């Protein structure tokens, strides 16, 4: 059985442990999951629009975007999934509800058959509770993104996104909330925030000019967490992350 420090599912298992009371047996079951490890290039659809999913997608490296597609070809990114995330766990309950997914950068992922995840849920009730809790956070993120798109200006949307990703990357052990990589193009950021690439560029320039952030390529430095989180009206409680206090200390 894979050890906790080598299994590609270790971050996901740790996230479940932070959300619900699961024991050593349940953790071992997650760490021992089997699946197909694949690497896909940027822009490749993992679950095309209208396609019924047959797997749960776990991110090992890279970024997966959940998206809605419109008849004119425009796409709206509705969630970002980073290493350690399960991009479509709720499809275990209703496979026909699997979201459309795309690799936003070159991404390594594991495809685990939905029936394998469902079998764990049936035999281990505490894992079922943990899956529910995970999906509840997923819904909370979606609600917050919808509120940002509908009620907040561009700078507020960007500030909120950077704070969210910073905390999630830190929790996953892939950086710190004040120093992390977000390897997305300005077009992809625009698709997530409902803005044009020109507006994204202008917004990032404004945040740099205020001394809130700096960028080297796709690496972000947050120089004043308190001011940035206040600008984005960012309250991390919806993420249910350990040590994610509002002031960033």
Instruction: Check whether 45 has a pLDDT greater than 50.
Output: yes
- What three-state secondary structure class fits 137? helix
Which letter does DSSP use for residue 212 in this model? S
User: Which helix (H) or strand (E) element contains residue 57?
Assistant: strand 55-61
User: Which helix (H) or strand (E) element contains residue 151?
Assistant: helix 125-151
Instruction: Check whether 246 has a pLDDT greater than 80.
Output: no
Torsion of Cα atoms, 189 then 193 then 197 then 202, to 10°:
-110
- What three-state secondary structure class fits 215? strand
Residue range 53-80: average pLDDT? Answer: 92
Indicate the pTM of the whole model: 0.92
- Predicted confidence at residue 245, as pLDDT, reads 53
Confidence of residue 231 (pLDDT cuts 50, 70, 90): very high
- Predicted confidence at residue 243, as pLDDT, reads 64
Among residues 113, 120, 118, 201, which one has the least CA distance to residue 155?
Answer: 201
């Amino acid at each position: 059985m894979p050890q906790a420090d080598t299994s590609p599912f270790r971050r996901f298992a740790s996230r479940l442990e932070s959300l619900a009371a699961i024991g050593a047996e349940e953790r071992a079951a997650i760490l021992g999951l089997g699946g197909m490890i694949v690497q896909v290039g940027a822009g490749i659809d993992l679950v095309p629009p209208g396609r019924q999913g047959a797997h749960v997608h776990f991110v090992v490296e890279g970024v997966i975007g959940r998206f809605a597609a419109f008849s004119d070809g425009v796409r709206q990114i509705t969630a970002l999934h980073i290493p350690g995330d399960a991009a479509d766990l709720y499809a275990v309950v209703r496979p026909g509800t699997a979201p459309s997914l795309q690799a936003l950068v070159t991404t390594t992922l594991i495809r685990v058959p939905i029936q394998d995840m469902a079998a764990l849920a049936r035999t281990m009730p505490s894992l079922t509770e943990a899956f529910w809790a995970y999906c509840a956070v997923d819904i909370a993120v979606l609600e917050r993104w919808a509120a940002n798109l509908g009620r907040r200006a561009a700078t507020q949307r960007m500030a909120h996104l950077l704070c969210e990703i910073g905390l999630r990357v830190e929790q996953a052990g892939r950086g710190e909330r004040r120093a992390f990589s977000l390897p997305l193009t300005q077009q992809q950021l625009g698709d997530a925030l409902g803005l044009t690439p020109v507006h994204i560029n202008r917004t990032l320039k404004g945040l740099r000019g205020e001394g809130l952030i700096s960028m080297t390529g796709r690496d972000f430095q947050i120089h004043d967490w308190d001011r940035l989180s206040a600008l984005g009206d960012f309250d991390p409680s919806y993420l249910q992350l350990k040590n994610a206090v509002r002031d960033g200390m």
